[in-house]
Amino acid sequence: MATAGQMTTTTTNHITPGCIVLVQKGSFTKHCKVIPARPQAFGGKRDGFKVSFDGAIGELYGSTFKLLKSADRKGVNMLQKITFEEHTNRTRNSGYSNSESGQDNRDLTDDGTSQKLSKEEIQELKHSGATGKELIDVITANSSTFSSKTRYSQEKYVNKKGKKYDELVTLHKPTIDLIADMLFTMSPHKISFLRGDTLFQLLLHSNLCPGGRAAVFDSGTLNLVTAGIMHRLGVNGRLVNVFSGRKPFPMPLWSAVDMMDWSSEELAPLSHININRIHHARLPGRPDGTDMPPLVIETEKVNSLNGDAVPVEEGLKEEKLCSLNPNKRKKFVRNIYEDEMVSKAVLEAGVFSVVVACKQHPLQPTMALYPYLLPGCPFAIFSQYKEPLLELYMELKCNGGSN
The per-residue pLDDT for range 323-357, each reduced to its tens digit, is: 334 344 455 678 888 999 999 999 999 999 999 99
Residue 178 lies in a domain: no
Mean of per-residue pLDDT scores for the chain: 80
Nearest to 83 by CA among 59, 53, 58, 51: 59
Going by C-alpha positions, the residue among 176, 269, 265 that lies closest to residue 223 is 176
394 and 320 co-located in one domain: yes
- Residues 358 and 244 both lie in one domain: yes
What band does 103 get if pLDDT is binned at 50, 70 and 90? confident
Question: Domain ends where: 116, 141, 171?
Answer: 171
Among candidate residues 353, 388, 391, the one with its CA nearest the CA of residue 369: 353
Q: Check whether residue 248 and residue 139 sit in a common domain.
A: no
Same domain membership, residue 209 and residue 144 = no
Q: How many domains does the chain have?
A: 2
d(C-alpha 338, C-alpha 298), whole Å: 8
State residue 332's pLDDT score. Answer: 61
Helices 132-141 & 151-165, crossing angle to 10 degrees? Answer: 140
Beta strand segments in 56-110, E = 64-69, 76-81
Q: Same domain, yes or no, for 269 and 240?
A: yes
Same domain membership, residue 117 and residue 254: no
pLDDT value at position 27? 78
| Domain-located, residue 14 | no
**196 and 167, same structural domain?**
no
195 domain residue, yes or no: yes
Same-domain check for residues 298 and 390: yes
Residues 316 and 386 in one domain: yes
Indicate if 133 and 201 belong to the same structural domain: no
**CA angle, 87 then 91 then 92, to 5°:** 120
Confirm whether 268 is domain-assigned.
Answer: yes
Domain membership of residue 232 (yes or no) is yes
User: Residue 319: pLDDT band by 50, 70, 90 thresholds?
Assistant: very low
> Which CATH number is 378's domain given?
3.40.50
pLDDT at 89: 67
Tell whether 368 is covered by a domain. yes
pLDDT at position 83 is 80
In the beta sheet, which residues pair with residue 240? 215, 271
Q: Is 333 contained in some domain?
A: yes
What range does the domain containing 76 cover? 20-171
The reply to whether 10 falls in a domain is no
Question: Residue 201: is its pLDDT beyond 80?
Answer: yes
Overall pTM > 0.95: no
pLDDT for 281 equals 87
Of 139, 171, 203, which one is at a domain's C-terminal end? 171
Half-sphere exposure of 311 (CA within 13 A, CB side): 3
Distance CA 75, CA 51 (A): 9
Backbone φ and ψ of 16, nearest 5°:
-125, 160
Whether 314 and 378 have beta carbons less than 8 Å apart is answered as: no
Rounded to an integer, the average pLDDT of 115-125 is 82
| pLDDT surpasses 90 at 119 | no
155/219 same-domain check: no
Nearest to 262, CA basis, from 2, 6, 4: 6
pLDDT digits (tens, 9 = 90+) for 133-154: 788 888 888 887 787 788 888 8
Task: Check whether residue 65 and residue 134 sit in a common domain.
Answer: yes
The whole-angstrom separation of Cα 151 and Cα 87 is: 23
Between 267 and 153, the more confident residue is 267
Contact 237, 246 (CB under 8 A): no
